[in-house]
Structure 1
Amino acid sequence: MGTTPVVGTAFLQTLPTNTIGDIEHYMRRTHDIARAEAAVLYSTDATDQAALGLLTGTSGGTDLDTAARIRLHQAVAAPVLHLLDNPGRSWRPYVAAAVLCLLGADPERYRPLTAVTELLHVSALVIDDIQDNSPTRRGRPSVHEIFGTAPAITAGTLGYYTFDALIQRVPQADAATMLRIYRLYLRDLRAAHAGQALDLAGHHTAFDQAVATGDARPLLDQIRTAHRLKTGMLVRSTAEVSAILGGADETQLDAICAYFEAVGIAYQITDDVFDLYGQCTPDEHQQGITTRSPAEDLRNGEVTYPVAHATRLLDTTDRQRLRDALRQRSGTGALQASDLLMRCGAVDACTAEARELVDTTWDALAPLLPPTPHKAMVRALGWYAAQRETDHIPRTAALG
């Protein structure tokens, strides 16, 4: 000890206050940071001229009186605040900070990155709920249900453009690096729209072929591509921006990007599974809160990850029953489809694929990172994304 050699037996005691038993609660704390940083654009004060001017680009000589500012705030800020002030799991802004910590960079100087990520996600949810005709989000009416479809589209789209205002609030790298960051953000935003387009187009032709043949590979490949573009690349983008600003070398950068893209895809896979139950946590279930209508995707006749896996696990008769149930686009059809998915092992197949995806990319990343608590938490995030748990609502009550 010090300069004196010692020999003996040591005991290490881990105290409860030093353990994290609920990773969702741990990550959700990041939302408070993201919300505080987003306030520079999204103020709850409708007369805040500085925030509204920065958000809307009206601070450069456009003269708005108080009445006009209030109207503009109600049109473009209030819809986003409806979701922003009702946080979800908030693991995406956590990624922005965690990657910096993995690389030994001080995350405090880069706090606005958490808001970049959260605003991008919230804006996408606003648009997504319109396209899916979803009546609820996070246990509340969806934005378009409160503010109307047209205002929601405008407000949600504007949220995509907050990147520039926020990225300028972090320490700036050299011009070439900043240009690289802008380009990758725009690239991944385009990719997300491509993924959404594929999702909206659906996978029914490939599904019908899988039902006829029992070969699910082309169908699964289609859905994997959509999930990667829609979700995986946006999570990758968050990690990539933080890694570049945090000084990652190219080997680290490639491995970080691959891992967090896998986390995003795994989360989307388990999101498809959670659709069967309405996406509630145990605490939310006890409070009677359902964050999304149970089996909403199946009720809409969508071909999800569990459906795709089921086409290789069911026999010909049951595959046809699954197809017919989805074509009903009803609660009864959703219940029938859900029963088939549960019985054939499709849910377990989804979980296994998500876990393998995260485990494989982690094995490549782990040797490149020093052993720190942040490394352990980022690994736990992968496990969480791939095998989230929920209280299973009785399906007869939820879907009937």
Structure 2
Amino acid sequence: MSSVYYEDSPVEEQLLLPYTHIRQIPSKEMRKRIQSSFNHWLRVPKDKFDEIVDITEMLHVCSLIADDIQDDTQCRRGIPSAHVVYGVPLAINSFTIVLMKILERCMRLHPKAALIYREQVLMMFRGQGEEVYWRDNFVCPKEEHYKRMLTKKTAGVFLFCYRALQLFSEEKIDYTDFVIKLGFYFQLRDDYCNICQQKGLEEMSQLTNENSRDFYDDLTEGKFTLPIIYATRTSKADTVLNILRQKTRDITLKKYFVSLLEECGGLQYTREIMKDLDSSLRDEIKKFGGNPALIAVMDEMLSWQNS
């Protein structure tokens, strides 16, 4: 078969517009800084390091586009989501092309990189799928199942970066459990900030505040998060579930819902877990010999304490 069929499309740039639409928008880059901090320990040559960080960013952007479609998120980082601007079909096609481009780059990078990519992408999408299944079928997961889902959803991208970097490192200490715990803490914090502190969000819109339509958009999506799962074990369970089921955009009802989560102890429970995770991660960083860049990001992530 002629190689012409395997070449980039004559309209390749147009096919990738949904992807470039999201990638070009600035964020706080906490994820990227965390991933970059791994190299304090691994000391991978700059060319390989830059390549892996760029591939990881490509994967992250693809996950954002998919997540926005699945959640029908209208706004990402202060602008309309990719599927809102370009439509769902082109957005799906765009991130699928990029996922395959990542696979090509992984195959050129290292014989084991493609295997790592396959494992971590499956982990990531299974985590997202579990969250969507619970939401769409209104099934409140057990806390341990929720924690595993959150780990799959976020730690998968962190693990890809770490595992790919270690292919080129002489440092063979196993940081896997640490990276998993870090990914869980990162996403738990992001979910908490979506409720209580919009300015702390990694993907924060500059327009977001407690009176805007995207305030606590996880509630509008009907998403089960840890404070809600905790609340279902209290006397407020019926009220909490009735409001969650509505997928409301009403600001007054959202604020009331947040007050319920505070009153029943769900938010305090989440804060206690985050405090323990922060302390545990810092202890492990110290055991690994320290990491100033990662500690700087950890310090910034403590902004949730100001809510």
Q: TM-score band, normalised by the shorter chain?
A: 0.7 to 0.9
1:96·1:242 contact (CA, 8 Å) conserved in 2? Answer: no
Matched, 1:348 2:287: no
2:68 to 104, 129, 150: 129
* Number of equivalenced pairs: 300
Cα distance change on mapping 1:73 and 1:167 into 2, 3 Å: same
Superposed counterparts of 1:7-86, under 5 Å: 60-62=3-5, 69=10, 71-75=11-15, 77-86=16-25
TM-score with structure 2 setting the length: 0.84
Fraction of identical pairs, as percent: 21
C-alpha separation between the residues in 2 aligned to 1:199 and 1:301? 10
CA drift of 1:226 comes to 0.9
Aligned to 1:197: 129
Q: Residue 150 of structure 1 aligns with which residue?
A: 89
- Structure 1 residues 151 and 288, CA, compared in 2 at 3 Å: closer, same or farther? closer
Structure 2 residue 208 is matched with structure 1 residue 273: no
- Displacement of 1:240: 1.9
Question: Does the Cα contact within 8 Å between 2:120 and 2:156 map onto a contact in 1?
Answer: yes
Q: Could you say which residue in structure 2 is the equivalent of 1:311?
A: 232
TM-score, normalization by structure 1 = 0.66
Alpha-carbon distance in 2 for matches of 1:389, 1:244 = 35
1:237 alignment partner, one of 157, 160, 163: 160
RMSD (CA atoms): 3.2
Give ranges in structure 2 of 5+ residues lacking alignment. Answer: none
| Native 8 Å contact 2:193 2:200 kept in 1 | no
Comparing 321-330 with 191-200, which one deviates more in the overlay?
A: 321-330
Distance 1:262 1:285, change over 3 A: closer
Q: Which protein has greater RCO, CA pairs closer than 8 Å, 6+ apart?
A: 2
Comparing 231-240 with 344-353, greater Cα deviation is found at 344-353
Superposed displacement of residue 146, structure 1: 0.5
Larger radius of gyration: 1
Q: Deviation per CA, 1:79-98, whole angstroms, max 9, x where unpaired?
A: 11111110222233334432
Any idea what the Cα deviations from partners look like across 1:225-254, whole Å, max 9, x if unmatched?
1101111222122112213322221xx22x
Whichever residue aligns with residue 341 of structure 1, its letter is L
Distance 1:159 1:100, change over 3 A: same
CA displacement at 1:123 relative to structure 2: 0.5
Contact 2:44/2:165 (<8 A) preserved: no
Structure 1 unaligned segments of length 5 or more: list them.
Answer: 1-58, 173-177, 208-217, 393-400
1:260 equivalent to 2:183? Answer: no
Q: 1:368 aligns with which of 284, 288, 291?
A: 288
Residue 148 of structure 2 is aligned with which of 225, 228, 237? 225
271-280 or 122-131, which deviates more:
271-280
Aligned equivalent of 1:380: 296
Contact 1:278–1:293, Cα closer than 8 Å, also in 2: no
The reply on whether 1:295 has 2:216 as its aligned counterpart is: yes
| Deviation for aligned residue 1:288 | 3.8
SS of equivalent residue, structure 2 residue 167: helix
